[in-house]
Structure 1
Amino acid sequence: MGESAPGLISELKLAVPWGHIAAKAWGSHQAAPVLCLHGWLDNANSFDRLIPLLPKDFHYVAVDFGGHGLSSHYSPGFPYYNQNFVSEVRRVAAALKWNRFSLLCHSFGGTVGGMFSCIFPEMVDKLILLEASPLVVDTNETDNLLTYKRRAIEHVLQVEAAGKPAQVVSPEEMLQGFLKNNSHVGEECGKHLLQRGATQVATGVRLNRDRRIAWPEHCFDFISRELFMQYIKNLQAHVLLIKATEGYYAVRRVNDTDRELKVFVTSSLKSVLKERFQYLEVPGNHYVHMNQPQLVAGVISSFLQSKEGTPAPV
């Protein structure tokens, strides 16, 4: 870590009705706040390599979403829906007594942070989307939406009926399984996420995450293009969208026929937000913020430090 790096100052446990939301904090409490939201099935360690490269005059808090990392699992009987995660952001802000802050979001964290920024526009100063769309548009998914809703309910019932504890495996087996499901993470970063995402027990390690969490599609709020346009009109934040050249679609889809949708999202944000929107492509994959954080740290730093109304230099 360089001298300018904000030091990790604390692990936090923020009380919620079902237990606690775990988080880790860097920098001074007096500094401008930045809330960091991780991707699907990841955890707060997702930001460990990026935050030390960012300006030290900010207070960074990275949370584990409910059911992830070191955070409590939801109460029995309750599923994990997008709106619940959006609500968690509001709860965290209340617990930290933050009225206005910036959001640094990766992947699924971006759809949560994006929706939060539309629902509570006055609370969000800057919204940084790393390999994320602020909302999920349903262009090619219309036929599947009811199937996803059905599977979401059935999956929770199946997990509850089985009543099995999390599987215990060897650390190596755990890592290989993790990397198989997250081809973009890489071994070193995979181990780092598992430090917070798994717990050592007598016979091996087990995943911390709630087994009721299945696929992101089960909990997304898919919206139409019309609604997308309507929602983003509510945004007051300055938005920075960073896309990796070998990013999300290389993880989730074999054939990316959906570039037109990416163009729709970016061009819509540009047309509505005008000078409040910045878009940047960087080389790298879906986990570029972990694998090569130096590729995104500069533009994020400039964006965080830029004054209202002045687009940050790229």
Structure 2
Amino acid sequence: MNLGHIGREQTLDVNGNHFALRTWGNESDPPVLALHGWLDNAASFERIAPLLRDCFVVAPDLAGHGRSQHRRADSGYYLWEHADDMNALVECLGWKRFGVLGHSMGSGVASILAAMNRSIDTLVFIDGMGAPFTVEEGNTVEHMRKAQRLLRLALRARLHGFSGPEEVQFRSLEMAINERRSGAGASLSVEGARLLVMRDLINLGHGYRWRHDPRLVLPEPLQLSERQACEFLQQINCPLHLLLGHQGLFAGSAFDKRKHALPPHTQVQWHEGGHHFHLDAPAPALIEQLNQALGRGESGPQQRLVNE
């Protein structure tokens, strides 16, 4: 096996926070920033990253996720904060040009990053079409009130992991895997869930608890509106590739809701599988399309234009 294809651990201090990174490939190859989804972590790319040809893949655990540092109590986990972190991370790594691979929420972070940084060669979204969570127009105030109420309730009742650092949440690894799968609508495979869970658990000796910040399960007080989410998609001026699951989040009307906001150069391909089809059972066709989209394919891109 090519040693460059074996995942490696790295840490980096960015914007005053400690980030854990998972990397694959040779640092001399063209870089790709891989951004995971909500409540996931860098293990989301464990099965596809080693198969990307001639790429140096860097997958950070976003702030509050996986093994990365939690934000301070007076800060939050807004998409634009994640994007600012990633912009600073790229600067720390010294990248001049790079590609971005984003899954789910990672595509929302990537859409904002594309507005901050014009050095992106290509964007590839896996079952994502920008910001996944939006607030309805005219509902900003009520949404903020509800988010604050939920946070206070969770703190008082010690819900959602707001408990002592030594308090067990799961007696066994299997219990944690089952909860992670139920949170993904049971579409996530056991082995896929195991990869994500193993990077997100603390072993207390007598049981386990999540590493991630429990605030992640609560809605942010301020969210983008649907119009704003679409605006970030519309401003993308580099090649944009969408790889979506037939049983994923955008099957049916959800795709139609965002389709109008996609830049005219967007290319779309549908794949069999659910929201984590890239982690559950990545098919050879998916790997080839990823390599093509990142400019590493053996043949030209074969995706269809979204407006054809």
> Shorter-chain TM-score: what band?
0.7 to 0.9
Partner residue of 2:213 out of 210, 215, 226: 210
Deviation at residue 88 of structure 1 after TM alignment = 1.3
Secondary structure of the structure 1 residue equivalent to 2:143: helix
**Partner of residue 201, structure 1:** 204
**Partner of residue 43, structure 2:** 45
1:298 aligns with 2:304: no
Distance across 2 between alignment mates of 1:228 and 1:195: 32
**In the TM superposition, what whole-angstrom CA distance separates every residue of 1:1-47 from its partner, at most 9, and x where no partner exists?**
xx578423531111034430111111111110000000100000000
Amino acid at match of 1:176: N
Indicate the percent of aligned positions where both proteins have the same amino acid: 24
TM-score (normalised: structure 1): 0.83
Conserved 8 A contact 1:106-1:131: yes
When residues 300 and 249 of structure 1 are mapped into structure 2, their CA distance, relative to the original with a 3 A threshold, is: closer
**Partner of residue 253, structure 1:** none
Higher helix share: 1
**Partner of residue 269, structure 2:** 280
**In the TM superposition, what whole-angstrom CA distance separates every residue of 1:188-222 from its partner, at most 9, and x where no partner exists?**
11111111011111211110000111246756422
1:101 aligns with 2:92: no
Deviation at residue 229 of structure 1 after TM alignment = 5.9
When residues 119 and 128 of structure 1 are mapped into structure 2, their CA distance, relative to the original with a 3 A threshold, is: same
**In the TM superposition, what whole-angstrom CA distance separates every residue of 1:234-267 from its partner, at most 9, and x where no partner exists?**
32211000111100158xxxxx6xx1x5225334
Higher strand share: 1
Alignment of 1:29-40 (within 5 A): 29-40=27-38
Distance across 2 between alignment mates of 1:64 and 1:229: 25
Deviation at residue 83 of structure 1 after TM alignment = 1.4
**Partner of residue 262, structure 1:** 255
Conserved 8 A contact 1:6-1:51: no
When residues 219 and 245 of structure 1 are mapped into structure 2, their CA distance, relative to the original with a 3 A threshold, is: farther
Secondary structure of the structure 2 residue equivalent to 1:280: strand
**Partner of residue 188, structure 1:** 191
1:223 aligns with 2:226: yes
1:244 aligns with 2:242: no
When residues 211 and 232 of structure 1 are mapped into structure 2, their CA distance, relative to the original with a 3 A threshold, is: closer
Distance across 2 between alignment mates of 1:209 and 1:58: 29
**Partner of residue 141, structure 1:** 136
Secondary structure of the structure 2 residue equivalent to 1:14: strand
Partner residue of 1:20 out of 18, 22, 25: 18
Alignment of 1:50-199 (within 5 A): 50-55=48-53, 57-120=54-117, 122-135=118-131, 141-142=136-137, 144-159=139-154, 162=158, 164-165=163-164, 167-168=167-168, 169-170=170-171, 171-182=173-184, 183-199=186-202
Conserved 8 A contact 1:8-1:24: no
Conserved 8 A contact 1:44-1:69: yes
Conserved 8 A contact 2:19-2:62: yes
Conserved 8 A contact 2:104-2:132: no
**In the TM superposition, what whole-angstrom CA distance separates every residue of 1:117-142 from its partner, at most 9, and x where no partner exists?**
1332x12111000000124595x833
When residues 155 and 313 of structure 1 are mapped into structure 2, their CA distance, relative to the original with a 3 A threshold, is: same
**In the TM superposition, what whole-angstrom CA distance separates every residue of 1:163-196 from its partner, at most 9, and x where no partner exists?**
6225412122222222221212121111111110
When residues 220 and 103 of structure 1 are mapped into structure 2, their CA distance, relative to the original with a 3 A threshold, is: farther
Amino acid at match of 1:30: S
Amino acid at match of 1:125: D
